[in-house]
Structure 1
Amino acid sequence: MFAYTVRRVFSLIPVLFGMTLVVFAIIHAIPGDPAQVILGQKATKEAIETLTRELGLDRPWYIQYVDYIKALLSGDLGTSLRTRGPINDEIWPYLAATIELTVVAMFIATFIGVNAGIISAWFSKSWFDYVAMILALIGVSMPIFWLGLMEQWAFSIELGWLPTTGREEVRDPITAITNLYLIDTLLQGRTDQFIQVIKHLILPSMALATIPMAIIARMTRSTMLEVLQSDYIRTARAKGMKMFWVVYKHSLKNAIIPVITVIGLQTGLLLGGAILTETIFGWPGIGRYLYEAIGYRDYPVIQSGILIIAAMFVLINLFVDLMYAFVDPRIKYNQ
């Protein structure tokens, strides 16, 4: 297991290197001048040329790429062309916001999706099975922006139960320590702020969890149906074991591997930044950060953001692979 983990970690290096090269080439092929975008349409030609030299955009692209890799190897993500600030300091609050939203959304999607799929398989062809699968189909097909707007209208405007946008109360801002507000409020002992953070998380996390929840439910049902028809399950039931333990102790453990794969892939996708959800709910996540950077042709921010997202995605896939052996002892990663 250890040797396999080490090999997989080292295999990430060429993947991430290739990602930087592809992203660098595509971004620099985008039409538009960053200096023109930063200074505005009324900027003089001399001002644009001066800013271009200051930003180093007048040098050949391959020299810019080598400089970027050198800085990256030293732990420096570069400097934003728009704000002139270090990306290392700028990007973490946005990434932390997306991580917090993704973790909550995937917890909701996994808990509801797995249990809905189990019950649907347990009571196959019952009214619950039909209703759950119809809702799962609706969840996959429903546009996120429409669902988000309906949530705001129902729970914020009509009922007034939950806030409409943002991560915190403007009148009572949170003192950031880790920029993960659920953790920060607990570290400071602010129960009132912790409750407010949860209220701000409910609507965007529910909207974001809809599609993964539906996919997880359908995958769980499919794998559980196959396992429940196995001989050892019929034997366990014939011995008088309660159906609850048959399902959750024996069947689920043997049906969970494809579900873990889906959960990992969906988590990676959500960490990439849910731009629609973040825009509708005013959530300051990595998706909006990169979207704004694209509008300003902020090459270093775009490159660094995509690289971080790619690294997180491949690390999640590595974690999923390791989880296989943990869940099923029959799986061994030998030489």
Structure 2
Amino acid sequence: MFAYTVRRLLMLIPVLLGMSIVTFSIIHLIPGNPAQVILGDQATATAVANLEEQLGLNDPFFVQYFQYMGNLLQGDLGTSLRTNTAISSEIWSHLAATMELTIFAMIFATFVGVNAGIISAWKQNSWFDYLAMVIALIGVSMPIFWLGLMQQWIFAQELGWLPAFGRGNPRDPIESITNFNILDSIINGRTDQLWTSFKHLILPGVALGTIPLAIIARMTRSSMLEVLRSDFIRTIEAKGSRPISVIYRHGFKNAVIPVLTVVGLQTGTLLGGAILTETIFSWPGVGRYIFEAIGTRDYPVIQSGILVVAFMFVLINLVVDLLYSYIDPRIKY
């Protein structure tokens, strides 16, 4: 297991190197003078020259890249042109907000999707199977922005059960320790803030988790159907094992690899693809952070935001690969 982990870590080096080259090249792919584009057409020549000097645009490309990599290795992601603040100090709170939302959405999607897929495979061609797959098809096809607006209208405006915007109560802010509101509420011993934070998570989390839920349910059903038709399952059933044991202990254990792949990919996708959800629900996540940077032409933030999200995606894929070898020892050989 250790040797397999080391090999997987070494394989990340060229991936991370290529990722850094792509993100660094973004500012150089801008048509015309990048500094002029950032400052706008009304900027003076002096302002443009100062920004070129600040960003190091006067140096050769490879010199700029090695300076960029040197700063990255020291944890320096640059400085925001909009707030004049170190990006490394302000991006963590946005990344933590997105991670908290993604974790909630994936727990919801995985729990519901996996169980719906297992029951659909177990009761193939039953009313539950048809209903679950129709709902999954609707879930994959439904636009997130429309679902989010409908949720706000029904559960926030009409019923008043859940808050429609934000991450917590602005009149009673949570003392920030980890920037994860749920965790900080527990650490501070504030059950009222814990409940408030949880309520704010429900609507955006369900909206964000709808598409992954549908994909996980369909993949689980397909994988389980293949396993349940295997000879070893018929042998276990012939021995008189309980149906629940056959389905969950033996069937799902052998069908989990494709499901785990989908869960990993969807988790990485949600970390960088939650812009619509974060915008609709005013969630201060990294997707909205990058979106606002695009609107203000804050290219250092765009560069760093894309790099951080891509790194998280690669990290999640690494974790999934390691889980493969834990679940199925044959993989590491």
TM-score range, shorter chain: over 0.9
Conservation of the 8 A alpha-carbon contact between 2:27 and 2:34:
no
- How is 1:96-175 mapped onto 2 (pairs within 5 angstroms)? 96-175=96-175
**Counterparts of 2:260 and 2:110, CA distance in 1:** 10
The answer on 1:183 being equivalent to 2:183 is: yes
The answer on 1:195 being equivalent to 2:213 is: no
Conservation of the 8 A alpha-carbon contact between 1:105 and 1:206:
yes
The answer for the alignment partner of 1:240 in structure 2 is 240
Q: For structure 1, which segment, 176-185 or 227-236, has the greater mean C-alpha deviation from structure 2 after superposition?
A: 227-236
Structure-1-length-normalised TM-score: 0.94
Conservation of the 8 A alpha-carbon contact between 1:34 and 1:296:
no
Q: Tell me: CA distance 1:32–1:150, structure 2 relative to 1, closer, same or farther (3 Å).
A: farther
The CA deviation at 1:54 is 3.7
**Counterparts of 1:202 and 1:326, CA distance in 2:** 32
The CA deviation at 1:278 is 0.6
Task: List runs of 5+ in structure 2 lacking aligned partners.
Answer: none
The CA deviation at 1:37 is 6.4
Conservation of the 8 A alpha-carbon contact between 1:38 and 1:82:
no
The answer for the alignment partner of 1:333 in structure 2 is 332
Give the counterpart letter for 2:73 in structure 1: L
Conservation of the 8 A alpha-carbon contact between 2:38 and 2:299:
no
- Percent identity among equivalent residues? 66
Q: For structure 1, which segment, 43-52 or 120-129, has the greater mean C-alpha deviation from structure 2 after superposition?
A: 43-52
Q: What is the RMSD of the two structures over their aligned residues, measured on CA atoms?
A: 1.8
The answer on 1:80 being equivalent to 2:80 is: yes
Give the counterpart letter for 1:142 in structure 2: M
- How is 1:168-317 mapped onto 2 (pairs within 5 angstroms)? 168-317=168-317
C-alpha distance after superposition, 1:160-189 (max 9, x if no partner):
111111111111111110001110000000
Structure-2-length-normalised TM-score: 0.94
**Counterparts of 1:25 and 1:312, CA distance in 2:** 20
2:26 counterpart SS class: helix
Give the counterpart letter for 2:117 in structure 1: G
The CA deviation at 1:155 is 0.5
Q: Tell me: CA distance 1:201–1:32, structure 2 relative to 1, closer, same or farther (3 Å).
A: farther
C-alpha distance after superposition, 1:259-288 (max 9, x if no partner):
001101111111124110110011111111
**Counterparts of 2:36 and 2:163, CA distance in 1:** 38
C-alpha distance after superposition, 1:177-230 (max 9, x if no partner):
000111000000000000000000000000000010000000000011111112
The answer for the alignment partner of 1:14 in structure 2 is 14
Give the counterpart letter for 1:275 in structure 2: I
Task: List runs of 5+ in structure 1 lacking aligned partners.
Answer: none
The CA deviation at 1:117 is 0.2
